[in-house]
A and B are shown apart, each in its own frame.
Chain A
Amino acid sequence: NAGVTQTPKFQVLKTGQSMTLQCAQDMNHEYMSWYRQDPGMGLRLIHYSVGAGITDQGEVPNGYNVSRSTTEDFPLRLLSAAPSQTSVYFCASSYSSGGTISYNSPLHFGNGTRLTVT
Chain B
Amino acid sequence: EDKVVQSPLSLVVHEGDTVTLNCSYEVTNFRSLLWYKQEKKAPTFLFMLTSSGIEKKSGRLSSILDKKELFSILNITATQTGDSAVYLCAVENAGNNRKLIWGLGTSLAVNP
A48 within 8 A of B: yes
Chain A's nearest CB lies how many Å from the CB of B96? 8
Contact of B48 among A43, A58, A106 (CB under 8 A): A106
Residue of chain B at shortest CB distance from A102: B98
Q: B97 contacts A56, CB within 8 Å?
A: yes
Q: B31 contacts A103, CB within 8 Å?
A: yes
In the assembled complex, which residues on chain A have CB atoms less than 8 Å from the CB atom of B100? 43, 45, 107
Q: What is the count of residue pairs linking A and B with beta-carbon distances less than 8 angstroms?
A: 51
Residue of chain B at shortest CB distance from A110: B42
Chain A's nearest CB lies how many Å from the CB of B29? 12
A31 within 8 A of B: yes
In the assembled complex, which residues on chain B have CB atoms less than 8 Å from the CB atom of A106? 34, 45, 48
**Roughly how many angstroms separate A77 CA and B30 CA in the complex, as a whole number?**
32
Q: B98 contacts A111, CB within 8 Å?
A: no
Chain A's nearest CB lies how many Å from the CB of B31? 6
Chain B's nearest CB lies how many Å from the CB of A118? 23
Q: B31 contacts A90, CB within 8 Å?
A: no
**Roughly how many angstroms separate A104 CA and B88 CA in the complex, as a whole number?**
18
Q: A48 contacts B42, CB within 8 Å?
A: no
Residue of chain B at shortest CB distance from A35: B102
A33-B98, A48-B98, A50-B97 are known contacts. Are A42 and B43 too (CB-CB below 8 A)? no
A42-B102, A42-B104, A43-B102 are known contacts. Are A109 and B44 too (CB-CB below 8 A)? yes
Q: B92 contacts A112, CB within 8 Å?
A: no
Q: B42 contacts A107, CB within 8 Å?
A: no
In the assembled complex, which residues on chain B have CB atoms less than 8 Å from the CB atom of A94? 98
- List 7 additional A-B contacts (Cβ < 8 Å) besides A103-B92, A111-B41: A33-B98, A42-B103, A43-B88, A45-B99, A103-B98, A104-B48, A109-B42
- 10 nearest interchain CB pairs? A109-B42, A42-B102, A111-B41, A43-B102, A106-B45, A111-B42, A109-B43, A42-B104, A106-B48, A101-B98
Chain A interface (Cβ < 8 Å from any Cβ of B): 4, 31, 33, 40-45, 48, 50, 56, 58, 90, 94, 101, 103-104, 106-112
